[in-house]
Structures are given as structure tokens and as C-alpha cells.
């Protein structure tokens, strides 16, 4: 027991003697000093060589070039900016940089002065800060850069496509470009190399958080569905009393179209006769009939309906034969009892013929035939200086069917015709009936039956009257004859 007491007393004495010594002064060579190679390295609170946070970049614009043709491609340019945080971002509290990095110096704000002088930073002293290397933010060799990442699957996966010190990057998808409808997304990360511990250079990477995502849908011209004329043209509907049907005939013009998804503008690029199969209805969609292209037009015969106006509607068989898918239409009318005996289109009484005379080439106004200038079917001019006048004329019969409204014109060359020449002022005949005959499929006022000028050199008006008899009693046509 006595020995134990002695040991404790010795220990107490030794401890008391130690506590009474003055503390050892720190070695001046180990004091924390400013290192010109490591900006702010002696800053109070720092556990690293100037490890500043890199503020998150700010996404800017995502734009594309024009696509001028369907199936074309374009490049995309993405731009962003560095962030300039308030000083409190650096001085308000401690920040621990992303990853396993020591705390940055407390209360030190990156400035151009820390970059060894004015204008030494690339864009801003807030870019590319990381560790102890002045080359992080000092010209000419920056270790810092932006990583540009792209996603083509809605952000499910990201691929780094560029490292750049610029604030924009043009992406051409490896040369393939981007096509209309593709959705491209971008995000930006800012990076620099730094010292993790001690003086090792570039032994770890310091980076910002990712910027917000910039997204763009590629737009441009795409092919869209064809359009069709609202009214089928030409269109005809003929009543066939023999079959008791209405014979329909028509064409439909289709138009290729493109639409620019950037502007919404629709452009018509090509027009052509549509020749595919059609569904046709004449009862507003209750029944449909399929018709095929006949080489020059579509045709369809439908049972002769009662009097009224009917609409023929056309839908494409490539879709649904439905009234909501009609692409064109036509109308036709049926008169009351179109095929009754009173309106039998085959009866002569329903096919009256009117006759007329015109220059043999059938063209007017101001069409010249011989000495005549035909201004219309009922008026000619000739030179007053001529001693005789001659012309070839057609004797035309125009038949108009009063049941169907159809018109036919036929040359009536055959039996002889006669003309009389009359003074318009007095009504006196200047010649007796002169016969003209038909040769070469037209009548000839020439040779022995030329019209003699009774007043050579005088401007005067006459009547040239045509008859079907030698007595000049069955008058059917009169032409005003101006000698000028």
C-alpha cells in the first residue's frame, strides 16, 4: 500500500512539472503564407489550395438551320452562359465542392485580379474555377472547359458530344444532321482540374452541377395528304331514256402538298388526274358504289330518279367509304317525266334545227375568208374598192334537244342555196337570185356567182340574204354587208 502511494505521488509531481512549461512557439517556416502560385492559399478557413465552387451554367437557346426539302436535315446550335453569382455565394458560408473535395476558401470571391491581372480570364473570372493551378482561369492555357451533352431519347440517356471553352456549339450529329420531328435535348456541365491534396497537379476533376435542359423539336417541310378539287370537273349527267338510267361522267384533280412544321404553311407542289378507285354515293352516304378509272374519266350509271337536284359525292377507297371522308362532289338535275312521250328525246319535234351561215373556217370575229371579213355570223366587212366579192361559207344546222338540253352542230352541205343582194337603204334587190353550190364540203361564192360591186369606191351597206329556193321567198339568214 505504501508503495502504491509512492508511485502516485511521483506521477503527480512529473505531471505538475510538465504543465508549468511555456508552450512551444510554432516554427516560422511552417506558418501559413500566401503562395503566388496558389491564389488565396493562406485564406483563413481554407483546407485546400483555392478550391472555389463553379456556379451551374445557365442554358440559353437551342436553334436549328432551315430545311428546304422534304427529307432534308439540318444542324443544331446550342448556346449557354456562365453564372455570375452574388458575392454572398462565396462569403456567406462554407461550400464543399461537388465530389470528395476539401472546402473552398471561406470569404474569397473569384476576381480578375486573382487571375494575374486584368483580362486574363477567358470570358469571366467566375468560369472554370477549381484548384491551385493558375492555368485554370489564366490565359493562354485553360484547363477548364464546358462539357456539352445531348439526349435523343427524352433524357433517358445522355452522351457527351463536345468539350469546348466557347459559349455555343453547333451539333451536326456526326455529319448526319437531324431530320424533321427529331427531339434533341442538351445540358451543360462546367469542369476544371484541381489539386485534391498536397501539390499534385490535376489529380482530380472539379465540376459544376448540370445546367437546366434545353430542348428543341426539329421542324421543316413534310409531305401531307393530297387535296382534291371540291367539285369534280368536267362533269356530265345524261338521261338515257332507253335504259331508264342517268349516265354520269367526271374527273377529279388531286394536288400533292407539303406543310412546313415551323410555320404551319401548306404548299401545293404538283397537280394531276386522280386515277385510283372511288366510292360514289348519290343518296348522301346511304349506299356506296365503287368505280374505277376508265382511261380518261370515271363513269357510272344510276337509276333514273324522280324530278329534283341530286349530289354525287366521292370518297377514296384507300380510306373509309363514309360521308365524312368525301373529297369532291357534283350535282345533276332531272326534270319532271324526262322520258315521257311529251319529252321523248328521240322524237324530231324535240330536236328542232336552226340554220346559220358562217365563213367556211368557222371562226369570227374578224376572220378573213376570200374578200369577206367575218365580224360575226351576221355581219361582214369588205373593201369598197373591189369590183367583185367572193367567199366560201358553211351552211350549219344546230340541233338542240329540248329534253336533255344537249346541242349538236352539223354541216349541211348538199342541196343548192341561193342568195340575193339588196340595197340596205332602199330595200331594192341589186341582183336576182344567184345559185351557189356545195363543193369541198362548203358553199362557194366565187367564179360566175361572185357578188358584183354596184358602187365601186362608195362606202355603203347592203344585205346579203340567203334562201333555200330560187324564187328567194324562203329566207333563212341575213348578213349585213358593209362595203368600206
Q: What is the pTM of this model?
A: 0.54
Please, are residues 287 and 281 in contact by the beta-carbon 8 Å criterion?
A: yes
- Return d(Cα 413, Cα 443) in angstroms, integer: 7
Q: Categorise residue 7: left if φ over 0, alpha if ψ from -120 to 50, beta otherwise.
A: alpha
The residue among 406, 226, 228 whose CA lies nearest residue 330 is: 228
Element of type H or E holding 310: strand 308-316
According to the model, what pLDDT value does residue 117 have? 61
For residue 256, what pLDDT is reported?
Answer: 95
Phi then psi dihedrals of residue 240, to 5 deg: -110, 100
CA-based nearest residue to 402, from 452, 345, 357, 444? 345
State the pLDDT at residue 202. Answer: 53
Cα separation, 37 vs 456, in Å, equals 122
First to last CA, the chain: 168
Residue 320 has a pLDDT of 85
CA distance 452 to 27: 146
Q: What pLDDT is attached to residue 164?
A: 93
pLDDT of 35: 45
Query: Radius of gyration over alpha carbons of the chain, in Å?
Result: 52
Burial of 113 (0-12, 13-18, 19+ CB in 10 A): exposed
Per-residue pLDDT tens, the chain, 484 aa: give them.
334 333 333 333 333 333 333 333 333 334 444 444 444 444 555 554 445 667 899 999 999 999 999 999 999 999 999 998 888 877 776 555 554 555 556 667 777 766 666 666 778 878 876 544 444 455 556 667 899 999 999 999 999 999 999 999 999 999 999 999 999 999 999 987 665 555 555 556 778 889 999 999 999 999 999 999 888 988 999 888 888 899 999 999 999 999 999 999 999 889 999 999 999 999 999 999 999 999 999 999 999 998 899 999 999 998 889 999 999 999 999 888 788 777 777 888 888 888 899 988 877 888 899 999 999 989 999 999 989 999 999 999 999 887 777 889 998 988 889 999 999 999 899 988 999 999 888 999 998 899 999 999 999 999 999 999 988 888 989 999 999 9
Amino acid at each position: 500500500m505504501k508503495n502504491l502511494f509512492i508511485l502516485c505521488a511521483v506521477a503527480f509531481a512529473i505531471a505538475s512539472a510538465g504543465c508549468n512549461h511555456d508552450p512551444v512557439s510554432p516554427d516560422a517556416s511552417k506558418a501559413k503564407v500566401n503562395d503566388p502560385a496558389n491564389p488565396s492559399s493562406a485564406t483563413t478557413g481554407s483546407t485546400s489550395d483555392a478550391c472555389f465552387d463553379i456556379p451551374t451554367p445557365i442554358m440559353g437557346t437551342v436553334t436549328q438551320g432551315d430545311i428546304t426539302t422534304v427529307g432534308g436535315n439540318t444542324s443544331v446550335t446550342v448556346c449557354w452562359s456562365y453564372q455570375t453569382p452574388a458575392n454572398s455565394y462565396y462569403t456567406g458560408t462554407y461550400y464543399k465542392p461537388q465530389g470528395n473535395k476539401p472546402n473552398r476558401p471561406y470569404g474569397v470571391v473569384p476576381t480578375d485580379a486573382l487571375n494575374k491581372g486584368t483580362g486574363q480570364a477567358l470570358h469571366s473570372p467566375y468560369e472554370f474555377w477549381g484548384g491551385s493551378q493558375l492555368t485554370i482561369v489564366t490565359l493562354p492555357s485553360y484547363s477548364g472547359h464546358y462539357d456539352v451533352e445531348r439526349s435523343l431519347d427524352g433524357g433517358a440517356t445522355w452522351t457527351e458530344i463536345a468539350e469546348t471553352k466557347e459559349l455555343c456549339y453547333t451539333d451536326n450529329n456526326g455529319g448526319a444532321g437531324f431530320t424533321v420531328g427529331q427531339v434533341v435535348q442538351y445540358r451543360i456541365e462546367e469542369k476544371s482540374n484541381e489539386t485534391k491534396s498536397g501539390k499534385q497537379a490535376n489529380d482530380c476533376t472539379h465540376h459544376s452541377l448540370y445546367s437546366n435542359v434545353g430542348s428543341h423539336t426539329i421542324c421543316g417541310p413534310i409531305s401531307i395528304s393530297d387535296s382534291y378539287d371540291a367539285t369534280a370537273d368536267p362533269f356530265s349527267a345524261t338521261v338515257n331514256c332507253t335504259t331508264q338510267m342517268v349516265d354520269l361522267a367526271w374527273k377529279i384533280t388531286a394536288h400533292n402538298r407539303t406543310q412546313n412544321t415551323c410555320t404551319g404553311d401548306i404548299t401545293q407542289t404538283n397537280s394531276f388526274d386522280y386515277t385510283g378507285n372511288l366510292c360514289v354515293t348519290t343518296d348522301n352516304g346511304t349506299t356506296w358504289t365503287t368505280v374505277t378509272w376508265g382511261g380518261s374519266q370515271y363513269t357510272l350509271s344510276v337509276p333514273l330518279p324522280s324530278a329534283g337536284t341530286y349530289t354525287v359525292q366521292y370518297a377514296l377507297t384507300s380510306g373509309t367509304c363514309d360521308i365524312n371522308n368525301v373529297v369532291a362532289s357534283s350535282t345533276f338535275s332531272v326534270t319532271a317525266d324526262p322520258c315521257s312521250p311529251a319529252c321523248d328525246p328521240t322524237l324530231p319535234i324535240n330536236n328542232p334545227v336552226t340554220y346559220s351561215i358562217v365563213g367556211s373556217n368557222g371562226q369570227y370575229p374578224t376572220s378573213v375568208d376570200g374578200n369577206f371579213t367575218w365580224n360575226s355570223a351576221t355581219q361582214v366587212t369588205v373593201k369598197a374598192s373591189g369590183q367583185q366579192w367572193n367567199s366560201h361559207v358553211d351552211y350549219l344546222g344546230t340541233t338542240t334537244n329540248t329534253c336533255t338540253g344537249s346541242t349538236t352542230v352539223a354541216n349541211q352541205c348538199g342541196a343548192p342555196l341561193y342568195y340575193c343582194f339588196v340595197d340596205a337603204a332602199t330595200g331594192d334587190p341589186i341582183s336576182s337570185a344567184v345559185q351557189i353550190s356545195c363543193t369541198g364540203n362548203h358553199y362557194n361564192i366565187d367564179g360566175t356567182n361572185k357578188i358584183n360591186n354596184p358602187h365601186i369606191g362608195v362606202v355603203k351597206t347592203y344585205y346579203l340574204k340567203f334562201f333555200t329556193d330560187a324564187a328567194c321567198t324562203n329566207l333563212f339568214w341575213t348578213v349585213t354587208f358593209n362595203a368600206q
